Amino acid sequence: MERVTLSRRKRPLSNEVCDRIVNDYIANGNVKPGSLLPSEKELTAKYDVSRVTLRAAIKSLHDRGLVSVRNGVGATVLPRPPVSSKIVHHLERLASLDKAASEAGKLLETEDLKWGESIVTPEISTKLRLPVGDPVYFVQRSKILDEARIAWTIDWLPTTIIDLDLIRSEFKGSLLDALLQHSELELNYADLEIVPQILNSEIAEHLGTPTGGPVLYLDTVVYGAAGQPDIWGQVWVLPEHVRFFIRRHMQF
């Protein structure tokens, strides 16, 4: 088996191994659903990583619902969800809508991008545990798919978490994706609440659609390893463009 050189970027190595296994074996159909991935020995040699790193990568695949794992047998590729014309957003992992679109072969474009500094309101204070009146950064934008506006997004983050000019230079449409590249931030998990709403005039204007229609509101707080909230994300997404999916499975 040919050895692959990994980039050793500023993210957990197991995450990169996980992505490579998806690209090398699962996404392209090289290993069909119901078939086993190569053995642990083969994969550690191919990616030049330790067994600990590989097992963490396999656990990530399991948590994403891509494989099932049996001791003494190995990792079996699971069937993919039915093909959909919508963006399928898998909720069991910490990933952006942009990443979900990319994995589906779709390109989400960004318009109406605005960065700024505001003042912590009582609502922001509750989400990010910041004192009311303190400064807070925000970034807002529209997300465009095939020339149609499908989502309006506002992210809030403490001014102490990272240099704003740095993250602006690395931003490619998703604040979460940009911050996940900084392993020193130790972004670890998120709490997500999805609430069906009726479009009000403000959000309808951002989405370029009439008021009164349905919209899904995604309220997400992303936490670091120590349990501190680092990002509060607000997304209003038109349900005709996105399907949310989660695969429930036995605990690994």
* Cα–Cα nearest to 20, from 41, 36, 33, 49: 49
pLDDT, one tens digit per residue, over 198-243 is 999 999 999 999 999 999 999 999 999 889 999 999 999 999 888 8
Show the domains of the chain with their CATH numbers.
13-77 (1.10.10.10), 87-245 (3.40.1410.10)
pLDDT at residue 99 in the model? 86
β-sheet bridge partners, residue 218 = 194, 235
pLDDT at residue 162 in the model? 92
Whether residue 130 is predicted with pLDDT greater than 60 in this model: the reply is yes
Whether residue 16 is predicted with pLDDT greater than 50 in this model: the reply is yes
The tokens for 107 are 């390109």
Q: Concatenated DSSP letters for the chain?
A: ---------SS-HHHHHHHHHIIIIITTSSS-TTSBPPPHHHHHHHHT--HHHHHHHHHHHHHTTSEEEETTTEEEEPPPPPP-SSEEEETTS---HHHHHHHTT---EEEEEEEEEEE--HHHHHHH---TTSEEEEEEEEEEETTEEEEEEEEEEETTSS-HHHHHHH-SS-HHHHHHT-GGG-EEEEEEEEEEEE--HHHHHHHTS-TTSEEEEEEEEEEETTS-EEEEEEEEE-TTTEEEE-------
pLDDT at residue 143 in the model? 95
pLDDT at residue 100 in the model? 83
CB 65 within 8 A of CB 80: no
Residue 117, Cβ density class (10 Å: 0-12 exposed, 13-18 middle, ≥19 buried): exposed
pLDDT at residue 241 in the model? 85
Looking at per-residue confidence, does 47 or 104 come out higher? 47
Whether residue 85 is predicted with pLDDT greater than 80 in this model: the reply is no
* Cα–Cα nearest to 192, from 90, 57, 87: 90
Long-range contact set of residues 22-29: C-beta below 8 Å, sequence gap at least 24: 22/61, 22/66, 25/77, 26/61, 26/66, 26/67, 26/77, 27/103
CB 160 within 8 A of CB 170: no
Q: Rounded to whole angstroms, how far apart are CA atoms 217 and 237?
A: 7
Q: What's the length of the chain? A: 252
Q: Rounded to whole angstroms, how far apart are CA atoms 171 and 169?
A: 6
* Residue range 151-162: mean pLDDT, rounded: 96
The tokens for 48 are 């030049």
pLDDT band for position 8 (50/70/90)? very low
Whether residue 1 is predicted with pLDDT greater than 70 in this model: the reply is no
Q: Answer yes or no: pTM beyond 0.95.
A: no
Tell me the percentage of the chain whose pLDDT exceeds 70: 92
